Amino acid sequence: MTIPQQSAAPPSHPSARPFRQPWHMQMMPWRTLPSTLLRNAAAVLASRLLVSAAAMMVTPFLVVHLTRELGLAPFVAVLLASAVVIGGRLFARPLGVLVDRRPGIGPAFASLLCCAMATTLLLGLDSAVGTWLAATACICLSVASTTFTLAVRTHVARSFDLRHLPMVYATSSVAFNLGMFVGSALAGWLLHRELGAWAIGCAVGAYLLGACALLVLRSPRSDSSTGPSKTSTSEKSSSSRRSEAKSDTASTLPPIVLGPFAWTYTAIGYLTNTVTLLLAAYCATVFGSAALASVFYSSQSLALVAVLPLMGWLLRRPTLGILATLYFGGQLLAALGFVVFGAIGTAGPAIGVLSVAFCLSQALSVPTADPLLAKLVGRGSVGQVFGTTMSANARGALAACVVNAAALQWLPHERLGLAWVVPGGVALVVVAVAAACRPWRAQAAKETKASTVEADVLQQPSAERSNVGNTIEAAALPRNAAIAAR
């Protein structure tokens, strides 16, 4: 008896078409997250908001506290404050290796406890203690803050799928900006009422609350069809897991891929630190009002709160080429705005150009930078990769401190625009060369080939796809038998 062969499924059959989410799920990407990842995202956002608020209650007013309460010389106070801002980032790569070898919330939780203890130490110091204890507290605060940033970025890159990463990073940046606004406003109000010690006390409380928020984080459940079973995972000893982590860490960091990103981070670190150090002084000297700097900062905060979630929603299905194009395009906009700002001699247009350029730059680069690096180098070693780029950013910021101090000391007022035009032009060339290197080209070709093969398989009828699966399983039988025989 002959069994008639079933006809292939028609193209309109649901099995022949790739799955598409409903429109209301596409409009609200957070609803596609499982409950565990949604809880993790909420914990990360709350911790980022509290920690950024605590940092803004301490760092901008640290020089005032060190000079008034401890009686330190202004030069020493500025050095210690600079160590808090830049010092820890210079050693970010070893800290990133530590984060890679100790996955989970442990490094982030411990770093926030160290931040709370270092801030408490600064609060309890007096003029009889001396400079060394204050320097120790500042260095501990800097290293702990850098470790927290690396640990949170690494946890997000490992926990969430690539299609969710731009939204998570964009919303995390919104929480960071809101924390900066709340922390600086609260610290300013307390200082106006001559309660500066209360500001540091509030910062200690914010650090501890941020550490408590991290306790909500849970590891996402692995799929049994793709990952190892619970029994095989539990049978692994701690030494074997540690050796696997070391081997994964040692086999990464290709210099050809990371070189252009390190150059870009160095250039952007110089530009952003120049804005922080020189903008108010430049506006006071050239435009006659230092208050114009507050217009730039307030417009940046309000615009980014509105724009960053929109960018995260638009990047629901990012490819490697799109992420790289948006990232380098955003950095080119920042460098171009830097040049135009220094060339314009009118206050209103200059501040407007700089605000628009930096807002667009952050809107394009913040949701794309970390997903791009995680996709290029793999998630097993993103900690040291983030540490490498953070160290490059710190080197640019350190160079900006030296060059801007020399510019304010020796450049005449009518030539002070060169401190913006020349570095902006150099950064424009560096970012353009880094983008032209296209370190993501090989990986993008592999991604395009894989997506093409997947699309071809999805377009096949269900009967043909089952035949392909049976052929693959039959080809794997001899290999599995040989492994079992060993």
The 10s digit of each residue's pLDDT in 298-310 is: 788 778 888 888 8
When pLDDT is cut at 50, 70 and 90, the band that residue 226 belongs to is very low
Same domain? 278 vs 166: no
pLDDT of residue 283: 86
- Residue 428, pLDDT > 60, answer yes
Same domain? 462 vs 355: no
pLDDT of residue 31: 53
Q: Which domain holds residue 108?
A: 32-219
In a domain, residue 232? The reply is no
Which alpha helices (DSSP H) does 283-346 contain, by range?
292-314, 320-343
Averaged pLDDT for residues 138-160 = 87
Averaged pLDDT for residues 250-259 = 55
In a domain, residue 260? The reply is yes
When pLDDT is cut at 50, 70 and 90, the band that residue 246 belongs to is very low
Distance CA 116, CA 204 (A): 5
Same domain? 203 vs 305: no
pTM of the model: 0.71
Same domain? 185 vs 99: yes
In a domain, residue 84? The reply is yes
pLDDT of residue 221: 46
Same domain? 416 vs 273: yes
Distance CA 138, CA 134 (A): 6
- Residue 314, pLDDT > 70, answer yes
Same domain? 452 vs 362: no
> What CATH code is carried by the domain that includes residue 425?
1.20.1250.20
**Total structural domains within the chain:** 3
Give percent above pLDDT 70 in the chain: 71
Distance CA 200, CA 57 (A): 7
Distance CA 8, CA 468 (A): 14
Same domain? 383 vs 453: no
In a domain, residue 386? The reply is yes
Same domain? 367 vs 413: yes
In a domain, residue 237? The reply is no
Averaged pLDDT for residues 135-161 = 86
Q: What is the pLDDT of residues 467-477, one digit of tens each?
A: 544 544 454 44
How many Cβ atoms sit within 10 Å of the Cβ of residue 60? 17
Q: What is the pLDDT of residues 174-208, one digit of tens each?
A: 888 788 778 877 877 887 777 767 888 888 899 99
